[in-house]
Amino acid sequence: MELKTHWNGSGASSVLVGSVMIGAGGYTVIAGPCAVESETQIMASAEFVAEGGGAILRGGAFKGRTSPYEFQGLGEEGLRYLRRAGDANGLPVLSDVTEPGDVGLVSEFVDMLQIGARSMQDFALLRAVGQTEKPVLLKRGPAATIEEWLLAAEYILNEGNSQVVLGEQGIRTFDSTTSSTLDIGSVPSVKRLSHLPVIIDPSHASGASEIVLPLALAGRAAGADGLMVEVHPSPDEALTDGPHQLDKDEYLALMHALGIVRLRADIDVIDREIVRLLARRVKGAVDIARIKVEEGIPLRSLDREEDLLADVREEAELLGLDANVVHELFVEIIRYSRVEQAQALDRPPESE
């Protein structure tokens, strides 16, 4: 039998949440506090989420908690605050739904429904969200195989809703150094089996804010379509999961490390990156020059330079740049490389 979640040759799916696309080659950041605790708290969170480049705002209103004596969320009031905070900052919003009976209520307020890890095999809930038109983020259960996770998604697709994103947040293993073990291999494994987008949640996997950043980078490198990260204006005062929530500065540092930054800063960063690449280029050219001298090969190869410049023009055109301008820049760069080669070899630059 062919499963609706399985790869079928017609390409990877993408899921539209408000105006935000998940999948299709992009990289989407969902951020927000574990739980909506007050209007002030979610509003403050939403502001810095948007400022840092986050695309979707999360916030739990119905919280499943291990003990009955812990904070259980603000319910409908929390959803109302979340919606307002999202609207005020131009962000679509996501919140957990834990019971089939709540699907209608939560759907009124959010742009994307989350099914948490503990509910991954609540089949009535899967069917209920499958009957809505809301996108769904389906977290992997802590003891679920990848096959079981995809079959849980199958329940949703089988009801007619194909807007499903998978979320890896770690599995239970013997090692308690991190709160659960992020199964980074699940990202490429899911990509081989299924057309659905997959994101990672390093917050729940890590249990410590210092580990969130490297896990987030690893997830993107492994091919994830995005990231869910928990942030809080004052993690120390959080009513739930304080230890792994990032504060504003940690969040901005994460977004910077991911290369997701506001426009102005972006140009600074790009310029610095260009300079770094120039340095690597010059070093490479000098290394080649040394080898050529040892082997008695002429330093300069006009054919090679022409090829290089042709490649560069082609690349520029592909990317919509003015090929002549870029050509001139690289003539200059090549000239400069030759100067550095000559200095390193202690001889005059070859004439043009």
Residues 311-340 interacting with its own copies (rule: CB under 8 A): 311-312, 315-316, 319-322, 325-326, 328-330, 332-333, 336, 339-340
Q: Which DSSP helix (H) or strand (E) runs through 166?
A: strand 164-168
Q: Give me the phi and psi of 156, to 5 degrees please.
A: -70, -50
DSSP 258: T
148 contacts its own copies (rule: CB under 8 A)? yes
Which structure tokens are listed for 104? 């209608």
279 contacts its own copies (rule: CB under 8 A)? yes
To its own copies, the closest distance from the beta carbon of 217 in angstroms equals 4
Q: With left for phi above 0 and alpha for psi between -120 and 50, is residue 296 left, alpha or beta?
A: left
Instruction: In whole angstroms, give the CA distance from residue 69 to residue 210.
Output: 28
222 contacts its own copies (rule: CB under 8 A)? yes
Q: Which DSSP helix (H) or strand (E) runs through 16?
A: strand 15-17
Alpha carbon 100 to chain centroid distance?
Answer: 29
Q: With left for phi above 0 and alpha for psi between -120 and 50, is residue 339 left, alpha or beta?
A: alpha
Residues binding its own copies: what is the number (CB under 8 A)? 103
* List 11, 90, 104, 188, residue binding its own copies (CB under 8 A): 188
**192 vs 352, beta carbon nearer its own copies:** 192
Span interacting with its own copies, options 32-40, 44-52, 145-153, 225-233, rule CB under 8 A: 145-153
Which structure tokens are listed for 128? 């209920």
145 contacts its own copies (rule: CB under 8 A)? yes
Q: 67-126: which residues touch its own copies (CB under 8 A)? A: 67-69, 72, 98-101, 118-119, 121-124
Q: 1-40: which residues touch its own copies (CB under 8 A)? A: 1
* List 108, 210, 306, 350, residue binding its own copies (CB under 8 A): 210
* List 9, 174, 298, 302, residue binding its own copies (CB under 8 A): 174
